[in-house]
């Protein structure tokens, strides 16, 4: 982490001496972050391996580590504001958080109201199910069935995907992945639609339930940092930090740990 802070330190100095001073002090979220030495990042806390709670109730995950890297580079304290996924963007709009990092897909519709920087991860939709036939699907058309009940995270692009691309299917929503998985296990839904990493992690966490997932990506989901619209100072700064993090190889290290390995599963609640 010290290596990252050293590299990004120059970016901090240049921006604070230039763009931030040139901007209206009330116009940029970055000015407030620097003044208060605190950055508030909204996360759901229920989207493994992006963000989730360990056995002690602490928030951990790929995006928790990413957010900490950003905070360290800013010389600011990281405060994670946990809210249900559907409430994260409204919280950003109302100024309750400075950034959102919670498996947030960079969509055209969302970009009308918020600025996105990234992507720092690219995923895609898949299904988690106990049905071996559904687990072999490779195309969206195979899921568009009147007899099929699917569950998705409330307010997510998975919900929008089902609504727009699978109109024949019945859609249920859940406030978090735990609730969605429960619906699949108790038979209320035949499959959960979610980003592939979430499906894979859930399958690994519950090895004796018969849950399985398809490795085929049904969509392309670029995931990035959401921030207030029309804040070019903050946008440029976060862009510079992410580029610096990537240049150090830290993003690749974090991806390998959280998405390719399973050691961290030992810290998860049973």
pLDDT tens for residues 143-165? 999 999 999 999 999 999 999 99
249 found inside a domain = yes
Q: Which of 176, 191, 213 is the last residue of a domain?
A: 213
pLDDT score, position 260: 87
C-alpha to C-alpha distance for 153 and 156, rounded to whole angstroms: 6
Q: Which of 190, 213, 236 is the last residue of a domain?
A: 213
**Same-domain status, 99 and 58:** yes
**Same-domain status, 206 and 230:** no
pLDDT score, position 94: 95
**Same-domain status, 106 and 229:** yes
Contact 46, 252 (CB under 8 A): no
Per DSSP, the three-state class of 11 is helix
| Domain span holding position 177 | 125-213
pLDDT score, position 205: 87
151 found inside a domain = yes
83 found inside a domain = yes
Q: What are phi and psi for residue 8, nearest 5 degrees?
A: -80, -20
The model's pTM: 0.83
**Same-domain status, 92 and 188:** no
Q: Which of 213, 235, 256 is the last residue of a domain?
A: 213
DSSP of 210-227:
T-EE--S-SS-EEEEEEE
**Same-domain status, 92 and 203:** no
pLDDT along the chain (270 residues), means of 10: 44 44 59 94 95 95 95 93 97 97 96 97 95 92 94 95 96 94 96 94 90 91 96 95 90 93 86
**Same-domain status, 192 and 240:** no
92 found inside a domain = yes
In the chain, DSSP assigns E strands to 38-43, 52-53, 59-60, 77-82, 99-100, 114-123, 125-129, 149-153, 170-174, 191-195, 212-213, 221-228
**Same-domain status, 84 and 145:** no
**Same-domain status, 87 and 183:** no
190 found inside a domain = yes
**Same-domain status, 18 and 106:** yes
Q: Checking DSSP bridges between strand 149-153 and strand 170-174, what pairing results, if any?
A: parallel
207 found inside a domain = yes
40 found inside a domain = yes
User: Please, is 109 exposed, middle or buried when counting C-beta atoms within 10 Å of its C-beta (0-12, 13-18, 19+)?
Assistant: exposed
Q: What is the CATH number of the domain that holds 60?
A: 3.40.190.10
- Closest-CA residue to 73 (of 34, 23, 121): 34
Q: Checking DSSP bridges between strand 191-195 and strand 125-129, what pairing results, if any?
A: antiparallel
- Closest-CA residue to 229 (of 39, 95, 68): 95
**Same-domain status, 105 and 141:** no
pLDDT score, position 27: 61
For residues 182-205, one letter each, b for 16 or more C-beta atoms within 10 angstroms of the residue's C-beta and e for the rest, the string is ebbeeeebbbbbbbbbbbbbbbeb
Structure token pair of residue 160: 């929008």
Torsion over CA of 179, 216, 147 and 105, rounded to 10 degrees? 50
C-alpha to C-alpha distance for 98 and 213, rounded to whole angstroms: 35
**Same-domain status, 169 and 141:** yes
pLDDT score, position 36: 93
Torsion over CA of 190, 192, 193 and 198, rounded to 10 degrees? -150
**Same-domain status, 205 and 253:** no
218 found inside a domain = no
Q: How many domains does the chain fold into?
A: 2
């Amino acid at each position: 982490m010290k290596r990252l802070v050293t590299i990004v330190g120059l970016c901090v100095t240049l921006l604070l001496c230039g763009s931030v001073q040139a901007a209206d002090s009330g116009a940029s979220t970055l000015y407030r972050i620097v003044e208060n030495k605190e950055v508030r990042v909204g996360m759901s806390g229920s989207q493994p391996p992006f963000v989730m709670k360990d056995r002690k109730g602490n928030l951990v995950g790929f995006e928790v580590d990413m957010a900490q890297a950003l905070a360290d580079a800013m010389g600011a304290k990281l405060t994670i504001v946990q809210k249900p996924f559907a409430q994260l963007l409204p919280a950003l709009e109302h100024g309750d958080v400075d950034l959102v990092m919670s498996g947030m897909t960079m969509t055209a519709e969302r970009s009308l109201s918020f600025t996105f920087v990234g992507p720092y991860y690219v995923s895609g939709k898949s299904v988690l199910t106990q049905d071996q036939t559904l687990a072999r699907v490779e195309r969206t058309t195979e899921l568009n069935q009147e007899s099929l009940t699917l569950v998705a995270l409330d307010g997510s692009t998975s919900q929008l995907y089902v609504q727009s691309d699978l109109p024949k299917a019945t859609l249920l929503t859940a406030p978090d992945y735990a609730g969605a998985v429960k619906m699949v296990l108790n038979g209320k839904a035949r499959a959960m639609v979610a980003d592939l990493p979430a499906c894979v992690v859930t399958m690994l966490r519950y090895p004796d339930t018969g849950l399985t997932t398809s490795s085929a990506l049904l969509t392309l989901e670029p995931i990035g940092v959401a921030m207030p619209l029309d804040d070019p100072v903050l946008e440029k700064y976060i862009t510079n930090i992410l580029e610096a993090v990537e240049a150090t190889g830290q993003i690749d290290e974090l991806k390998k740990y959280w998405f390719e390995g399973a050691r961290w599963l030992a810290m998860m609640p049973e």
